[in-house]
Amino acid sequence: MHEAACYEKLEEGKVHCFLCSQHCRIKPGKRGKCGVRENRDGSLWSLVYGRLIAQHIDPIEKKPLYHFFPGSRSYSIATAGCNFSCLFCQNADISQGPREHKSIFGHPTDPEVVVTEARQSGCKSISYTYTEPTIFLEYALDVSRLAAEQDIKNVFVSNGFMTEQSLQLIAPYLDAANVDLKSFTDDFYKKQCGARLDPVLQTLERMKRAGVWLEVTTLLIPGLNDDESELRRLTRFLVELDAEIPWHVSRFHPTYRLTDRPSTPVGTLHRAREIGLEAGLRYVYTGNIPGDDGENTFCHACGSLLIRRMGFSMKKEGLDQTKCKQCGATLAGVGIEA
């Protein structure tokens, strides 16, 4: 175990955890909503520090990050647990296990081991992913500090429900993030995820101010978050934040506890991409449709093809370093020329 960050002691042995925006008040012997932070005798402890349930080498495009060292590999890690309870979770066996079964699983792995294996495998970055990295922030912090010393980048794949305090801790070491903006209504977040919308929007704004390279993903679920008026509001928010933020609209397939909805029609994703581009976003991508034209990167100025993709593979075609060969416009991103 490892004493938790971002908490305060209350009366009667209770603690207030402000690592994420659930702001759990936890009684002695009880755990927070994430299922992996426990009050023991008036102190809060992380039960998953260094207990990895996943270690994989992934293409960075799998996160998905399309404008952050494209074509590179990322050493991807996770512990069990999550501060959301999404009915459509694709990794429910590992994210919901601590909450549903009270089980803490994973094999002990020192931060030094993660960084050494990332370096030896030629990975440009370490991604904290598969489950919500906020809930294992103490471990992510120790790994990310060591990674930064080795010039290995750090990436969060997150639901964005962290607090200002926890983001301040990780931000100095965080190079990029893909944040799920699951919907643009509070009702969706409450009913489908057990959360709220506003803290996610605040995290996006704070990450942008902190200089973190940011990409956003929205899983479109038929009848729940694919209304065109909602997508227009969502894309207006992103444009006002930064029109160069890549937006990934991804196809839903029935899973976990949300099996009464059909897979997202391909036409819905194409229309969402149109809405994003019409709103003024420069880069909008379709996901979970291998071979779709919406996987490719096009020049925002002249429309020339810059990067061709098929699934997680990519090939640069119309780029000279970071510039479009046709018109000279710069492709936004980090490490594009690498």
SS (H, E, C) 9-55: ECHHHCEEECCECCCCEECCCCECCCCCEEEECCEEEECCCCEECEE
pTM of the model: 0.97
Residue 165 belongs to some domain of the structure: yes
Nearest to 195 by CA among 265, 280, 134, 142: 134
Q: Return the closest-CA partner of residue 83 out of 20, 29, 31.
A: 20
Does residue 14 sit in the same domain as residue 93? no
Residue 173 shares a structural domain with residue 284? yes
pLDDT band (50, 70, 90) for residue 65 = very high
Average confidence (pLDDT) over 292-319: 96
Residue 329 forms part of a structural domain: no
**What is the pLDDT of the chain when averaged over all its residues?**
97
Residue at 311 is within a domain: no
Query: What CATH number should be reported for the domain holding residue 131?
Result: 3.20.20.70
Are residue 110 and residue 161 in the same domain, yes or no?
A: yes
The predicted structure's pLDDT at residue 338: 87
**Which residues in 120-131 are b (16+ Cβ under 10 Å) and which e?**
eeebbbbbbbbb
Q: How does pLDDT run across 16-62, given as a tens digit for each residue?
A: 999 999 999 999 999 999 999 999 999 999 999 999 999 999 999 99
Here the tokens at position 179 are: 């944040």
- Asked if residue 323 belongs to a domain, the reply is no
- The mean pLDDT value for 281-305 works out to 97
For 151, counting Cβ atoms within 10 Å of its Cβ (0-12 exposed, 13-18 middle, 19+ buried), the class is exposed
Q: Tell me the percentage of the chain whose pLDDT exceeds 70.
A: 100
Which backbone phi and psi does 39 adopt, to 5 degrees? -85, 115
Residue burial 219-257, b: 16+ Cβ < 10 Å; e: rest: bbbeebbbeeebbeebbebbbebeebbbbbbbbbbeeee
Residues 67 and 11 in one domain: no
**Integer angstrom CA distances of residue 161 from 19, 106, 179, 324:** 9, 24, 9, 36
Q: Is the peptide bond before 64 cis (omega within 30 degrees of 0)?
A: yes
Calpha distance 331→334 (Å, rounded)? 9
Q: Supply 242's token pair.
A: 């930064």
Question: Within this chain, do residues 127 and 166 fall inside the same structural domain, yes or no?
Answer: yes
Residue 64 predicted with pLDDT over 90: yes
Q: What is the DSSP letter of 263?
A: P
- pLDDT value at 172 more than 90: yes
Query: Same domain for 112 and 39?
Result: no
Per the structure, how many domains does the chain have?
Answer: 2
Q: Let me know whether 148 and 284 are in one domain.
A: yes
What does the pLDDT read at residue 207?
98
Residue 101 confidence (pLDDT): 86
Whether 165 and 41 map to the same domain: the answer is no
Closest CA to 77 of 88, 93, 63: 63
Is residue 35 located within the same domain as residue 58?
no
Residue 14 is assigned to a structural domain of this protein:
yes
Which of 262, 277, 295 is the last residue before a domain boundary? Answer: 295
- On whether both 137 and 41 belong to a single domain, the answer is no
Q: Does 155 fall in a domain?
A: yes
Residue 51: half-sphere exposure toward Cβ, Cα within 13 Å: 17
pLDDT exceeds 90 at position 300: yes
pLDDT at 244: 98
Q: Does some domain include residue 330? A: no
Asked if 70 and 37 sit in the same domain, the reply is no
pLDDT for residue 314 is more than 90: yes
- The CA angle 275-159-236, to the nearest 5 degrees, is 25
Q: What is the pLDDT of residue 102?
A: 86
- When pLDDT is cut at 50, 70 and 90, the band that residue 252 belongs to is very high
- Structural domain harbouring 77: 51-295
What's the number of CA atoms in the CB half-sphere (13 Å) around residue 56?
12
Q: At 141, is the secondary structure helix, strand, or coil?
A: helix
Q: Are residues 130 and 6 in the same domain?
A: no
Partners of residue 59 on adjacent β-strands? 73
Residue 64 located in a structural domain: yes
